[in-house]
Amino acid sequence: PHPFNPKPGGDAPLTEMTVTLATSSTRFSAALNAAGKISVAGAVRPAGPGDDSGPSPFLTRVGAFDVDLALEGIVLLTRQTDQPGIIAAVSAVLGEAGVNISFMTVSRTSRGRDAVMALGVDSQPDADLLAKITGLAGITEFALVKED
């Protein structure tokens, strides 16, 4: 059976979860809540019509940011200042390197303040490419999330 579908007669399937870790030693400080703890929340969504893969886990919150992020493949998370051109600049750097974007979501705390962008990519960016992204004006940090 799929990990989010119990056996017949078993417990109800997991549909959502919030996790808070009592540590602030993270390389992606946007995941920290107001108390300085790493905080993420998620949900399990049912498969769509014609999708035989079963329910899928999604992140719905990273720290103070609402997100809609499928937990599959390779995801590049960036934290940046909410300003015009950031999405285009990151997309251009990835495109020039031949890295395809499969999905994207952006969340911000408020206009002109902190924002988080999550980009699903088809291939893992190398260290040089990540350095270029980190060097873009307005980008403050990044993290790679990979499906095991």
Question: What does the pLDDT read at residue 27?
Answer: 55
DSSP for 12-24 reads PPP-EEEEEES--
The residues, ordered by sequence, that sit 6+ positions from 44 with a Cβ below 8 Å of its Cβ are 4, 13, 14, 15, 16, 55, 56, 57, 58
Averaged pLDDT, 13-26: 49
Which of 6-10, 12-16, 34-38, 44-48 reaches the highest mean pLDDT?
44-48
Question: What does the pLDDT read at residue 36?
Answer: 63
Residue 2's Cβ-side half-sphere holds a number of Cα atoms within 13 Å equal to 15
Per-residue model confidence as pLDDT tens digits over 58-106: 777 777 777 777 767 788 888 899 999 999 999 999 999 999 999 888 8
145 backbone dihedrals φ, ψ, rounded to 5°: -120, 125
